[in-house]
Amino acid sequence: MRWLRQLLGSRRVQLNPGRQQALLRDVRHQYGARSQVRFPEQVEAITRMLNDDDGLVVAARIVSEAADEAHADLQAQAHDVHRRTGRRLLVHRRNYRPLWKEAGPALRWPLFALPCGLHPYAQVTAAVAVVGSRAPRLGRVADPNPLLARVFEVLDLTIAGWEYGRVRVDTDAAALADRLISTAGQVLAAIDDPPRLPPPVRELMRRNHTLDVHDPTGPRVVGVINLGARMRETLLV
């Protein structure tokens, strides 16, 4: 594997696990829903903190942790639905859209209730931005392929939440989706043999409609987002 050869063969990568733990602790506890600072300012502050290889490792861990915990939460929800009603729901990490299409009203969007305390519009958005901006370095500190899968997974959950999970599309939500798409493109460009795009992305890329984007503090529409066009221009390279 190219990433492992790079990691073992490079003398320039000096990682500090202790510093990584400290960074992760600070990012986890200083930011998020409890902070009085607006999400865009939190994202800027976190990205400045994670501005080196140790920060990139932490950012990758945050993205993966968010995806893993969201998946575990959906599995638990599906189990609870089956226990209460006898209805079986299939939870597939590569494509959550069939699950949400079938049972959206019965499900809770998991990214707002991650046990790790990460908030999708603060720590997760910042971590995704760091991964994208430092994508050429990924192969020196981690395997980019499973991380790319987690980026696509969070993107799938984000958009399914808008369409089927009653999640409001405001500027913070749109910023998360936009960064997920751009980061996926940056990571794809950094991989020698990029994988095939996952089913939900291919489905959405065939569309060309726009969604209203609202002000986070009120009902006012402040813009629009065309997910299909954004994905096509970013991921079809």
- Give the CA-trace dihedral at 101, 60, 213, 105, to 10 degrees: 20
Q: Are 138 and 56 in contact (CB under 8 A)?
A: yes
Can you give the pLDDT of all 237 residues of the chain as single tens digits?
A: 555 555 554 445 789 999 999 999 999 999 999 899 999 999 999 999 999 999 999 999 999 999 999 999 999 999 999 999 999 999 999 999 999 999 999 999 999 999 888 999 999 999 999 999 999 999 999 899 999 999 999 999 999 999 999 999 999 999 999 999 999 999 999 998 999 999 999 999 999 999 999 999 999 999 999 999 999 999 996
> pLDDT tens digits, residue range 31-46?
999 899 999 999 999 9
Token pair listed for 147: 């991380």
Token pair listed for 81: 């639905």
* Contacts of 193 by beta carbon, 8 Å cutoff, 6+ apart: none
What's the CA gap between 105 and 55, in Å, rounded? 38
Q: Are 124 and 161 in contact (CB under 8 A)?
A: no
What's the CA gap between 145 and 3, in Å, rounded? 9
CA nearest 46: which of 135, 122, 138?
122
Q: Token match 């590569």: residue? A: 94
> pLDDT tens digits, residue range 139-185?
999 899 999 999 999 999 999 999 999 999 999 999 999 999 999 99
Give me the pLDDT at residue 171, please. 98
- Give the CA-trace dihedral at 137, 138, 139, 141, to 10 degrees: 100
Q: What is the mean pLDDT of the chain?
A: 94
CA nearest 111: which of 97, 124, 93?
124
DSSP label at residue 120: I
